[in-house]
Amino acid sequence: MIQLKSHTRSLTVAAAAFALACSAGFVSGQDHFNTKGAPASVHTAALQQALRESLPFDDERDFDESRRGFIAEPASKQILGAQGNVVWDMGRYDFLVSGDEIDSMHPSLQRQATLNLNFGLYEVVPDFIYQVRGFDLANMTLVRGDSGWILFDVLLSSETAAAALALANEQLGELPVKAVVYSHSHIDHFGGVLGVTSVEQVNSGDVAIYAPSGFMEEAISENVYAGNSMSRRAGFQYGRVIPSSPFGQVDSAIGKGLSAGTTGLIAPSIVVTEAFETHTIDGIEVVFQNTPGTEAPAEMNAWFPEQKVFWAAENITATIHNIYTLRGALVRDALAWSKQINAALYEFGLDAEVMVSSHNWPRWGNARIQEVMRTQRDAYANLNNQVLFLANQGVTINEIHNEYQVPPSLQNQWSARQYHGSEFHNSRAVINRYLGYWDGNPATLAPLSPDESAPLFVEMMGGSAPILVKSRELAAAGSYRHAMELLNKLVYAEPTNRAAKDLLADVFEQLGYQYESASMRHVFLSSAQELRNDVQPFAMPRGNSPTLARAMTTSQWWDAVATRVDSLAADELNFTLNFITPDTGQSFVVEMSGGTLSNIEGYIAPNPDATITMNRSDLETVIMGQATLGSQLQSGVGTVTGNAALLMQLNSVLVEFDPSFEVIPGTLVQ
């Protein structure tokens, strides 16, 4: 990487950031806080009890399905890394085993968290399909081919993937891996690939890797450019800074949490490009269905026609998913998602006898499968259609989450509950997709920043004392969202006001207890921790991976460097650079002008200020953050002609991002 002007530890521009942004560092933050939180208030407890009485808890089919086919679990609940570090620990969730009612947790979320205690090897279809569950956020699905295993999704970390495969081989007889299928472009489904195969095995043709069209581009691009911010926000969504306890992190909706091991990527050897495409993999006929624009921009389902098994990837799980994910990502298309489920229903679901997903547990029996598929189809379509129904009557993005309601018939279906996504942030996402973030009111088109407007609000309310009095009254009455509105203004106006921060933390805590969505719970509880304890400095949660660096294009790397340019500092800096990678036959023109760094592939500038020639294979060390462009050139790796000093000029305007930046005012350690 080009050296940055900060004197703190050098970070990878993008290769690691993309892997890190959707991961939360499963065991990070546990040493900072104890597992005791404030008890649920009488208002929260009453709300939870009312939910226990109104939700369809007599429907226990999910429990029967989640236990079906259990074969064995490993001897230990922990999976360790090469240095003895804990990569995964299911023992953190033992507090859920008793089944006691927990008032500090939405009862529906407690039910989901209990179901996700699955841990071990399960038989799905005798002598054909098996799953290892509870070893990571996702499941590893193993299909027995004629001569070995076909692995559908290989978890987030090499350590958990290797442990999952080892358990299957121990219990079922050791078989070689013949193929790996990446269902989609999120790292919890491909990051563990080096735990089950190697680059050499794939290059030799011993192991084939299948992926949907657009996989490599999407696997890299989603998290590269906003990687630092996305990683910080992912810590909130997945509860990185809060311990697992009845008062903290309890579940991640589609699994318990994210492992903290090493990640990698091997490029697919076979890319599925057609809407429906049939392949024979180690003697097994598989029909892939490309489903772009659903849970991921590049994703695919699979159908085993002979066995009548439908594999739903992450398009159908035991929850309503995110249309907008709180870690940050492009808004997804709820209508397209619904239509792809409908296509799968009519192509495969009418005949399916088993439905398997890359998260949660399978379903058996055609009637049950159609029920779940229709429920999820209708849930995403209803979200899209009813939000637009309300928006076309004037309901705005700042009101929709208080207006949109899931129909009662869907609320009574467990597979339509809001554990991962929520009707609150998903409904706002639909409006944002169609109409953008503006609510139509000129007062909100170019508003003051909160730290600019808050002091005036506080002044007009008579200062902090009456705000604290009123906020305590509201909190005591259970009006937590009203109290939050007042206290948020006060904390922005007075970031060092300890009483305000502590009271806001108390309010956030009760709201976190009340939300069904694990993502929303974690955001509120994590924010409460930071208000009380300040932001604890942390490094990026994962190390750099050579395979991830190789996956990134040179143009993507330059684009990522461009996001670090301090535009005002660079405004008088102008240069044109030719960048040539002989081993790949590529050339790039890199220009700095208008305070902006840009690049284009396939051109050579006629009169550049400098030309850098470096093999792409040598650039990968730079992309991984293990060297700088300057240090490579100084050591004789590559050449530079022309004005070499422009690299120093570029270095002077690049900024290193702090992965523990402040989100809530007054929470940075001083």
Residues 578/589, Cβ–Cβ less than 8 Å:
yes
Q: Which CATH superfamily includes the segment(s) 565-651? A: SCP2 sterol-binding domain (3.30.1050.10)
Read off φ and ψ for residue 114, nearest 5 degrees: -70, -40
C-alpha dihedral (543, 549, 554, 557), degrees to nearest 10: -20
3-state secondary structure of 409: helix
Residue at token pair 């976190």: 512
Residues 295/420, Cβ–Cβ less than 8 Å:
no
Residue 128 vs residues 134, 141, 145, 300: alpha-carbon distances, Å: 20, 11, 8, 21
- pLDDT digits 0-9 by tens, 249-278: 999 999 999 999 999 999 999 999 999 999
Measure the CA–CA gap between 129 and 119, rounded to whole angstroms.
Answer: 17
Residues 210/279, Cβ–Cβ less than 8 Å:
yes
Read off φ and ψ for residue 88, nearest 5 degrees: -155, 140
Domain locations in the chain as residue ranges: 43-383, 565-651
Output the pTM of the full model: 0.92
Residue segments in the chain with a per-residue pLDDT below the cut of 50: 1-34, 541-543
DSSP string, 38-83: PPPPHHHHHHHHHHHHHS-TT--HHHHHHHTTEEE--S-SEEE-TT
Measure the CA–CA gap between 670 and 662, rounded to whole angstroms.
Answer: 11
C-alpha dihedral (379, 401, 430, 375), degrees to nearest 10: 0
Residues 568/652, Cβ–Cβ less than 8 Å:
no
pLDDT at 542: 45
Q: How many CB atoms lie within 10 A of CB 27?
A: 21
pLDDT at 551: 80
- pLDDT digits 0-9 by tens, 659-668: 888 888 878 7
pLDDT at 670: 53
Residue 66 vs residues 114, 119, 264, 541: alpha-carbon distances, Å: 10, 10, 30, 31
- Alpha-carbon 95 to chain mean position: 25
Question: 245: closest CA among 36, 89, 41?
Answer: 36
Question: 512: closest CA among 237, 123, 122?
Answer: 237
Q: Which residues contact 236 (CB under 8 A, 6 or more apart)?
A: 326, 327, 522, 523, 526, 527, 663
Which CATH class name applies to 43-383? alpha beta
pLDDT at 550: 76
State in Å, rounded, how far the first CA of the chain is from the last one.
30
- Alpha-carbon 563 to chain mean position: 21
pLDDT at 540: 53
Question: 352: closest CA among 367, 337, 339, 340?
Answer: 367
pLDDT at 22: 43
Question: 546: closest CA among 269, 264, 216, 267?
Answer: 264
Q: How many CB atoms lie within 10 A of CB 351?
A: 12
Amino acid at 500: A
Show the CA angle centred on residue 303, arms to residues 302 and 305, nearest 5°: 160
